[in-house]
Amino acid sequence: MLSKKIKQAMAGSSAIRAMFMEGKEMAARYGAENVYDFSLGNPATPAPEKIKTAIYDILDKEDPLVVHGYMANAGYEEVREAIAENLNERFGTNFHGKNLIMTVGAAGGLNIIFKTILDPGNEVMVFAPYFGEYKSYAANFDAKIVEVMPNEADFMPDLADFERKITKDTRAVIINNPNNPTGVVYSDATLKEIARILTAKEEEFGTDIYLISDEPYRELVYDGVQENFLTKYYKDTLVGYSFSKSLSLPGERIGYVVVPDEAADSAELIEGITVSNRTLGFVNAPSLIQKAVAECLKEKTNLEFYDRNRIALYEGLTKLGFTCIKPQGAFYLWLKSPVAKEEEFVEAAKKYHLILVKGSAFGYGGYVRLAYCTSYETVVNSMQAFAKLAAEYGL
C-alpha cells in the first residue's frame, strides 16, 4: 500500500530523468558517440584538483572521530565561518557562521526552508519556466505553487503578472538566478523591481514574504556578466546555494542556506531550519565534503569548457534557423520548438539520436531545454543531426 501523495509523485515523475534513461538505452543500442544527450544537468568537467588534495589532507591530518562524527545539526562551525567570510569578501555582506546552515545540496536546502516556513495551503510563487522539482518540494509540505509567466522576448518574469498574483497567502517566492532552464541572468533593474513589489505587498498584507534565492549556478556566468548576490536587494531574502555545479560535486550532496540577520524572524528561522535539517532525516550535511569545500572556496570550475559549448551550440543552432534565447549563465539553452506541441518536436529529435527535454517539464510549453554540460565533441557532432531535424521542419 502506497500513500496517496507518493502515488501522485510517481505519476508526475521527472521528465528529465526519463529522457536521461532513454539516452542511456539509445547509447547502449547505437554507441555513445552516436547519441547526443542534452538531457541532464550533470557537470561534464571534473571537480578542481584541490578537492582531491583537500580530502586526502583532511583524512591524513584530522581526527577521524571528528571527520566522520556527528556535529551540530547546522554543520561544522569553522566551515560555516569560512563560507561567511568568503561571501563577505566577495559581496560586501556581513554574515557570521551562525547565519549559515550546511545542507544536503540545494535540494536539501530548499526542503528545510520549506518545512520551516510553510503551512498547508500557503502559496509559493515560481517564475516560469522553472526547475520542475520545486513542485515536488512544495507538495512535500502541502503548499500550492503559483506560476508567474515570463515575457517571451527575453524570458524575464512578467512583473505585472507577478504583482497581480501575490496574495495574503504568499509565503515565499523562488528565484533561480542564473536560470535553469533558460540560461537567462536577471538584470539589476528586474531584481530591484521584484524587491519593490515584494516590499509593497508585505506592507499591503501585513505579512512577511521570503524571497528564496536558489543559486546553484551563481558562478556560471559568461560574456562578462558579474556574479550577483540577492540579499542586497530585499531584506527578506534567504539564499540556497549548492556546490553541485560550481565545483562539479553533485553526488557529494553539499550546499548551504544563508539567513541574513535582517530577514524577518531571523533567529527563529535559523533555529527552525536547523531543526528541519535534523527532522527531515538529513541530521547534518555530509561531514568530509563539508570540510573539503571549506578549503576550496576560491576554486573555480572550468568556465571556458562550458563557454565553448555554449557558443558552439548557440551559433550552430541559430545558423540552422532555430530560435534560441542566448544563454548568459548556467549551462542550459532554451530553444523554441518549431511546433506548438514541443513533445512532438522532442519525439522527432529522437530519430536523429538527439535527446532534449520538453519545456512543459519546466511549466512552460512550446520550448525545449538543452543541457550543454556535455563534451565539446557531442555539441560539434550533434550539428549534422540538428541539420536533419531543421530540414524536417523546413527551417
What is the binding site for ligand PLP (CB under 6 A)? 41, 105-107, 131, 176, 180, 214, 216, 242, 244, 250, 255
Q: How far is the CB of 366 from ligand PLP (least distance, A)?
A: 20
Q: How far is the CB of 257 from ligand PLP (least distance, A)?
A: 12
Q: Which of 311, 306, 322, 326 is nearest to 155 (CA)?
A: 326
- Residue closer to ligand PLP by CB (options 273, 389) is 273
- Residue closer to ligand PLP by CB (options 110, 379) is 110
DSSP 123: E
- Please state, in angstroms and rounded to a whole number, the distance separating the CA atoms of residues 101 and 103: 6
Task: Please enumerate in sequence order all residues whose Cβ is within 8 A of that of 40, keeping only pairs 6 or more positions apart, or say none.
Answer: 16, 17, 19, 20, 371
Residue nearest to ligand PLP (CB): 105
Q: Which of 134, 140, 137 is nearest to 148 (CA)?
A: 134
- Residue closer to ligand PLP by CB (options 82, 106) is 106
- Please state, in angstroms and rounded to a whole number, the distance separating the CA atoms of residues 268 and 274: 10
- Residue closer to ligand PLP by CB (options 242, 328) is 242
- Please state, in angstroms and rounded to a whole number, the distance separating the CA atoms of residues 391 and 369: 20
DSSP 73: T
Q: Using an 8 Å Cβ cutoff, are 122 and 95 in contact?
A: no
Q: How far is the CB of 215 from ligand PLP (least distance, A)?
A: 8
Q: How far is the CB of 214 from ligand PLP (least distance, A)?
A: 5
Q: How far is the CB of 41 from ligand PLP (least distance, A)?
A: 4
Q: How far is the CB of 175 from ligand PLP (least distance, A)?
A: 10
Task: Please enumerate in sequence order all residues whose Cβ is within 8 A of that of 136, keeping only pairs 6 or more positions apart, or say none.
Answer: 9, 12
Q: How far is the CB of 33 from ligand PLP (least distance, A)?
A: 25
- Residue closer to ligand PLP by CB (options 95, 127) is 127
Q: How far is CA 267 from CA 12, 260, 270, in A?
A: 36, 9, 5
- Please state, in angstroms and rounded to a whole number, the distance separating the CA atoms of residues 226 and 219: 9
- Residue closer to ligand PLP by CB (options 35, 373) is 373
- Residue closer to ligand PLP by CB (options 73, 242) is 242
Q: How far is the CB of 176 from ligand PLP (least distance, A)?
A: 4
3-state secondary structure of 155: coil
Q: Which of 219, 214, 213, 176 is nearest to 306 (CA)?
A: 219
- Residue closer to ligand PLP by CB (options 242, 248) is 242
- β-pairing, 237-242 vs 255-258, is antiparallel
User: φ and ψ at 385, to 5 degrees?
Assistant: -70, -40
